[in-house]
Amino acid sequence: MRAVRLEAVGSIKLREVDKPVPGPDELLVRIEACGVCGTDRHLFHGEFPCRPPVTPGHEFSGIIEAVGNAVSGFAVGDRVTGDPNIACGRCPYCHAGRVNLCRNLSAIGIHRDGGFADYVVLPQKQAFVLPADLPPTHGAFCEPLGCCLHGVDLAEIKPGSSVIVLGGGVIGLLTVQLARLAGATTIILSTRQASRRALAEELGATATVDPTVADVIDAIAGPAGLAPGGADVVFECAGVRETVEQSMRLARAGGTVVIVGVTPQGMKAEFEPFDLLFRELKVVGSFLNPYTHRRAAELIASGAIEIERLISRQVPLEEAAEVIANPPAPGEVKVLVVPSRLSSLATLATGETVDDNLSSR
């Protein structure tokens, strides 16, 4: 089968590899779609811990092609989404129910081979069945949606809450939708790109701000702003220093800041401890998707979350390495890798390189 291999930091190639064999408790899943995530780009640039060689891709869904002999509750032909984050179940954090903090976390697409390939092996405890009539690309959104759900859970949004979302990528746009479902009545999104602002307003944002023309703090939290004094909840979904610093200034006194965006490891941001104290801000990190994957799958299966308009383009496996090695195109929200399209071209000999070395950007 074909697999996109991260062979070292800065080097990613499409290779022909052996088709994996599922263990007794595992499913062999034929990938229908796998989303390209900022984390994949961080892996490529060595900004997120990982030990190559590995096949990235942690936002995937597909059809079960084979099951191990100890598998129950799943059948060949079922459509499934995979929760890529495998907790050990026996460390102090797992025992405390904090599975996303597991000290032995093994993530599909980071520590073990993932979904930028024709097939992935998925432990049955990480699999969730999706409806057969769901568009085959939508299941790839369960993982990012599950991460956003965790952030929204931590934020404790109540009906009537005011919410600010910084960043208009897929995480920001999913968070807008979840905030709306959670009952927020004011939802303000800030992002540089006009197409993303327009999309955010279609998906439930009550107002948007262009940080390139307005002072974000003033435009939102200023006396004549959209939410004078700030909002109950601020989601940092951009993962850059500027928005991390803005987030704490945009929360109202007693408000909550949720850090969802993945900043490069080692990046620093400034804040004023006095401000946190004086205004009793709560700043929480939201990491991964503990126990939220099933709800994410339910939300997507129900159609409660708009997915179609988040898909900017679909590319074959042959183009995946290039997409991962380059920054997203302007206005792009989510790129999906869809292996089946060019599967007829999969006639390469084992070990043959089928893509240029993209080590130099």
Site residues for Zn ion per CB under 5 A: 37, 39, 87-88, 91, 94, 102
Under 8 Å between Cβ of 57 and 40: yes
| Closest distance to Zn ion from the beta carbon of 109 (Å) | 8
Residue 37 CB, nearest approach to Zn ion (Å): 3
Using CA atoms in the order 337, 339, 340, 345, what is the torsion angle rounded to 10 degrees?
Answer: 130
* CA dist., res. 28 & res. 31, Å (int): 9
In the complex, least distance from residue 194 CB atom to Zn ion, rounded to whole angstroms: 25
Q: CB of residue 96 vs Zn ion: minimum separation in angstroms?
A: 10
Phi, psi dihedral angles at 334 (to 5 degrees): -130, 130
Q: With respect to Zn ion, which residue has the nearer C-beta, 91 or 198?
A: 91
Closer of 231 and 323 to Zn ion (Cβ)? 323
- Quick check: helix, strand or coil at residue 217? helix
Q: Are strands 2-8 and 11-16 parallel, antiparallel or unpaired?
A: antiparallel
With the CA atoms of 330, 334, 340 and 344 taken in that order, what torsion angle do they form, in degrees rounded to the nearest 10?
10
DSSP result, 10-40: TEEEEEE-PPP---TTEEEEEEEEEE--HHH
The pairing of strands 231-236 and 162-166 is parallel
Minimum separation from the CB atom of position 59 to Zn ion (A): 5
Q: Number of C-alpha atoms within 13 angstroms, CB side, residue 187?
A: 28
Smallest distance, Zn ion to C-beta of residue 297, A = 16
E strand residue ranges, the chain:
2-8, 11-16, 26-35, 60-67, 79-82, 85-86, 106-107, 119-123, 127-130, 162-166, 186-190, 207-209, 231-236, 251-259, 282-285, 311-315, 334-337
With respect to Zn ion, which residue has the nearer C-beta, 205 or 260?
A: 260
The smaller minimum CB distance to Zn ion, of residues 85 and 247, is found at: 85
Which is nearer to Zn ion, 102 or 199 (by Cβ)?
Answer: 102
The smaller minimum CB distance to Zn ion, of residues 87 and 219, is found at: 87
Cβ(54)–Cβ(114) under 8 Å? yes
Nearer to Zn ion, 103 or 341 (CB): 103
Give the gyration radius of the chain's Cα atoms.
21
CB of 256 to Zn ion, least distance (A): 23
Residue whose CB is less far from Zn ion, 144 or 255: 144
Tell me whether residue 247 or residue 289 sits nearer to Zn ion (CB atom).
Answer: 289
Q: How remote is the C-alpha of 180 from its chain's centroid? A: 19
d(CA 245, CA 250): 9
